[in-house]
Amino acid sequence: MCGICGSLAMTPGLAFAEAGAMVGRLAHRGPGDRAVVATPGGAMASARLHVTAPGEPSGPYSAAGGRVTAAVNGEIWNHADLRRDLSLLGFDVPPGADTAVVAPLFEAFGVAGLSRLRGMFAVAIHDARDGSTVLARDRFGIKPLYWQTGPVLRYASEAGVLPGGGGVDHDALADYLALGFVPAPRTLGRAVRKVPPGTALVFRGGHVREVVFAPPPEVEIGAAITSAEVRETLAAAVRRHLMGDVPIGVYLSGGLDSAAVAALVANAGAPLRTFALSFPGEGAYDEGAAARRTAALLGAHHTEVPMGPDRLAELLPLAASRFGEPFGDPSALAVLALSQVAARDVTVVLTGTGADELFAGYARYRLGKIPSAVGGLARAASPFLPASRRTRWGTVGSLARKLARASHRDPAHRYLSALEVVPAAWRARLLGRDEPPPVAERFRECFAKSATFADGARKADFAVYLPDDLLAKEDRMSMAATLENRVPFLDDAVADLAGRVTASRHQGLRGKRLLRSAMAPHLPAEIRRRPKHGFAVPVSEWLRGPAQSVVKDHLGPRDARVRDLVDGAAVDDLVREHSRGDDGLGLALHALLALEASLRVHRPR
């Protein structure tokens, strides 16, 4: 199943009708079939994309003589083992897809049973035995789940399906301008919230209880693993992620992570179909040639998808409608364009997401080693450095500004500056206040519990950046094209192995030392030694040049919705500064565009 929704505390007929209407709005996530079932005091529904067991019932599934009902979005990799174990314990598992095990598992063990699931999932469970409803997400937040506060409990796989209410959450707005996305549990609308990763929310008698059943991996000081362990564990994870009765592909860039997944797919004997995005004529932004080279070396059937600035006006509103909340990462539009093409040939794609977090691949993990004197020099020089088009290392001016922002203050602010989308000075002007965004406190907690800067940054990535940016982007944009996205690096076995090793043991000279070594039998040195490039879209150049009309159409009008939330004069000044050539404001400008596009579709009420 790929979309779930439901409601509680309504009259049966009204709840059933509302669940049916909501699941209809999730049809792009599950066009195979839809089902609505009544529960005591409510109803739940699911929309299924047929990936496994296409001839079997799709759910929602029941157990305990119909007293436990579960709607599940995602895939359960260890469903066969759970079926066997539950049967041995005397519990009946209903016929159906892999997700049919969730209801009897909950019947047997309650919320604690969710920790036995290995997969990517979001679940809604109604237990008539005690009148409780449970909403839960997998360990890393691969699959989404939103819920709405108020006298009626509503939940859905996408925020835009819920009616909303409560007005704008201004703390969420501050986080959005800082990061380009809103971290869980907030959304821009006060009444709509996200279930945090690895967490179950138990609703009963008008109260909600939060239970963390699957925390992210914890570093073990002194832990060591071998390249062979990494290789064998990752290979087994890739084989698990090939589960299904439909064509499966791999998203390929020019880098190590996706190449590792593709190589292990080929090694497992599966047909290798790869898909890559390119930006023709955009210099170092364009990884098309590197992806073609990797595909050729692996013998893949390769499809390249070129993208240009002409797609922005078309993709921006579609992305906004599928997210249901503001999302300012411009690479989401690229993932959407790629998914639209890939969905013509495959139903599932595998990606390399999660490798940088587990194997310490990000350059920002080294920010803790920058001397304050170097930062002082960068602060002094950055105003005089010209903007330039991207090189492999980014623009010189942009790097100097990031270094200047990152080289002082506490570790949490160093980390925040590395992710920063709208610079702090501009955020102060837009919001009319100069204070750190609320998410900074979450970052501070991550660093307080870590021995080194790099391990604190990894913890912060697991808590915020991975679930609320990378995984949110891949799920919403792939499902917008009716395509399932899978992430083998975030298999529990891989995460537990790599995540317990300190970042310093992973890093080496290029980062991801253990992963590079592990892939030696499957990938040539030219791929294993490629430096991290990062998936970036030339949005700054496009919005200054061929896509200027998008800026005018969205931010130019005096009645633009974004002007109700931020200072309009600051918006105008930011647009002018960017048009004069400040590449450091390209992401900030796109974040405002995405905010305006979202408000046009889903304005918080």
Span 161-180, mean pLDDT?
Answer: 95
What's the pTM? 0.95
- For residues 584 and 399, give the distance between their C-alpha atoms in angstroms, rounded to a whole number: 9
Kindly state the percentage of the chain with pLDDT values over 90. 80
Q: How confident is residue 391, by pLDDT bands cut at 50, 70 and 90?
A: very low
- For 507, other C-beta atoms within 10 Å of its C-beta total 19
Is the pLDDT confidence value at 397 over 70? no
Of 195-204, 366-375, 446-455, give the lowest mean pLDDT range. 366-375
- Could you tell me how far CA 83 lies from the centroid of its own chain? 30
Q: How confident is residue 403, by pLDDT bands cut at 50, 70 and 90?
A: low
Contact yes or no for 315/333 (Cβ under 8 A): yes
Is the pLDDT confidence value at 500 over 50? yes
**Per-residue confidence (pLDDT) for residue 481, from 0 to 100:** 97
- Predicted confidence (pLDDT) per residue in 222-262, tens digit: 889 999 999 999 999 999 999 999 999 999 998 999 999 99
- For residues 230 and 598, give the distance between their C-alpha atoms in angstroms, rounded to a whole number: 41
Q: Residue 597 is inside which H or E element, if any?
A: helix 586-601
Contact yes or no for 183/462 (Cβ under 8 A): no
Q: How confident is residue 164, by pLDDT bands cut at 50, 70 and 90?
A: confident
Query: Could you tell me where the DSSP H helices lie in 89-209?
Result: 102-109, 170-179
Q: For residue 472, how many C-alpha atoms fall within 13 Å in the half-sphere facing its CB? A: 33
User: 6: closest CA among 48, 42, 32?
Assistant: 42
Which is more confidently placed, 585 or 32? 585
- For residues 486 and 261, give the distance between their C-alpha atoms in angstroms, rounded to a whole number: 11
- For residues 509 and 399, give the distance between their C-alpha atoms in angstroms, rounded to a whole number: 20
Instruction: List CB contacts of 238: < 8 A, sequence separation 6 or more.
Output: 261, 264, 265, 268, 350, 488
Tokens of 549: 């009309």
Tokens of 89: 């314990």
**Per-residue confidence (pLDDT) for residue 329, from 0 to 100:** 97
- For residues 574 and 476, give the distance between their C-alpha atoms in angstroms, rounded to a whole number: 29
**Per-residue confidence (pLDDT) for residue 398, from 0 to 100:** 57
Asked whether the CA dihedral 235, 240, 244, 248 is positive or negative, the reply is negative
DSSP 272-305: -EEEEEE-TT-GGG--HHHHHHHHHHHT-EEEEE
Instruction: List CB contacts of 498: < 8 A, sequence separation 6 or more.
Output: 217, 225, 230, 358, 359, 506, 514, 515
Average pLDDT, the chain: 92
- Predicted confidence (pLDDT) per residue in 51-83, tens digit: 887 777 778 999 999 999 999 999 999 999 999
Helix/strand/coil for 417: helix
Cα angle 22, 23, 26 (rounded to 5 degrees) comes to: 100
Q: How confident is residue 480, by pLDDT bands cut at 50, 70 and 90?
A: very high
**Per-residue confidence (pLDDT) for residue 396, from 0 to 100:** 47
Span 321-327, mean pLDDT?
Answer: 96
Contact yes or no for 531/301 (Cβ under 8 A): no
Is the pLDDT confidence value at 389 over 60? no
Q: How many Å is the Cα radius of gyration of the chain? A: 23
Q: For residue 496, how many C-alpha atoms fall within 13 Å in the half-sphere facing its CB? A: 9
**Per-residue confidence (pLDDT) for residue 380, from 0 to 100:** 61
**Per-residue confidence (pLDDT) for residue 284, from 0 to 100:** 87
Span 525-534, mean pLDDT?
Answer: 84
- For residues 22 and 5, give the distance between their C-alpha atoms in angstroms, rounded to a whole number: 7
DSSP 532-562: P------HHHHHHTTTHHHHHHHHSSTT-GG
Which is more confidently placed, 317 or 371? 317
Which is more confidently placed, 428 or 205? 428
Is the pLDDT confidence value at 144 over 50? yes
